[in-house]
Amino acid sequence: MRFSARHYLVGLAQNIRILKMAKPTLEQAQQLYEATQEKQKLFTEFNYQAGTWKAPRRVIVKVEHNRLGNNLRCLVTNMNVPPQELYEQNYSPRGDMENDIKQQKLDLRADRCSSHEFMVNQFRMLLSGFAYLLFQHMSTTYLKHTKYANSYCKTIRLKLFKIGAIIIKNTRSIKFLFSSAYTEQQIFTNLVKNLESG
């Protein structure tokens, strides 16, 4: 299904009415766990209307039961997708998106808006965005067969770029002289060659 700007999928806080409507699924998950001693994950859906809503809306509830007890997560949506598919393919990946934002903010200083000028701060945000895209491109393209394939921007920056070197520049070339103790020379060299050629 293709989603449009009119579609929404939002977390919903639990309340007594929602818990009452989800109770049969809660009990089923508990019974299955007691019978198998294995973690259970079930989904249910129903129409629910909060006091401030003009009409009932579709609510999806994910119910888990394990040795620690029940765990519920409620979502409200207008998408016509089966509950489990909607939860696992559209809602669960939000954590990855939040981690991407965190990388750009913390590792690449996207939050450094210390100027009094809007355009200066906007330009800094654009630079950190470009830097993030460059790091992601390096990670997924040129570093995918190395130990840095799934590394955060901070790790790549610290391990591969924030290093001591002597740079000798003349009219014909630029030479980087690394310490013989620099363990990532081969990865760095391959990365630079790939960036130059690609």
Kindly state whether residue 104 falls inside one of the protein's structural domains: no
CA-to-CA dists, residue 13 to 44, 57, 115, 148, angstroms = 16, 14, 39, 39
Kindly state whether residue 103 falls inside one of the protein's structural domains: no
Residue 15: closest CA among 61, 54, 55: 61
Kindly state whether residue 101 falls inside one of the protein's structural domains: no
pLDDT digits (tens, 9 = 90+) for 83-105: 999 998 888 887 777 788 888 88
User: How many separate domains does the chain show?
Assistant: 2
Is the pLDDT at 35 greater than 90, yes or no?
yes
| Same-domain check for residues 119 and 191 | yes
| Same-domain check for residues 87 and 119 | no
| Same-domain check for residues 83 and 141 | no
Is the pLDDT at 178 greater than 90, yes or no?
no
Q: Kindly indicate the confidence band of residue 5, based on its pLDDT and cuts at 50, 70 and 90.
A: low
Domain of residue 166: give its range. Answer: 110-197
CA-to-CA dists, residue 37 to 14, 26, 32, angstroms = 26, 15, 8
Across the chain, mean pLDDT equals 88
| Same-domain check for residues 55 and 13 | yes
Output the CA torsion sign for 155, 160, 161, 163: positive
| Same-domain check for residues 152 and 193 | yes
Is the pLDDT at 29 greater than 70, yes or no?
yes
| Same-domain check for residues 150 and 178 | yes
pLDDT of residue 57: 94
Structure tokens at 151: 């590394």
Question: What percentage of the chain carries pLDDT values higher than 90?
Answer: 42
Q: Are 111 and 101 in contact (CB under 8 A)?
A: no
Kindly state whether residue 135 falls inside one of the protein's structural domains: yes
Last residue of a domain, one of 64, 92, 120: 92
pLDDT of residue 198: 65
pTM value surpassing 0.75: no
pLDDT of residue 102: 85
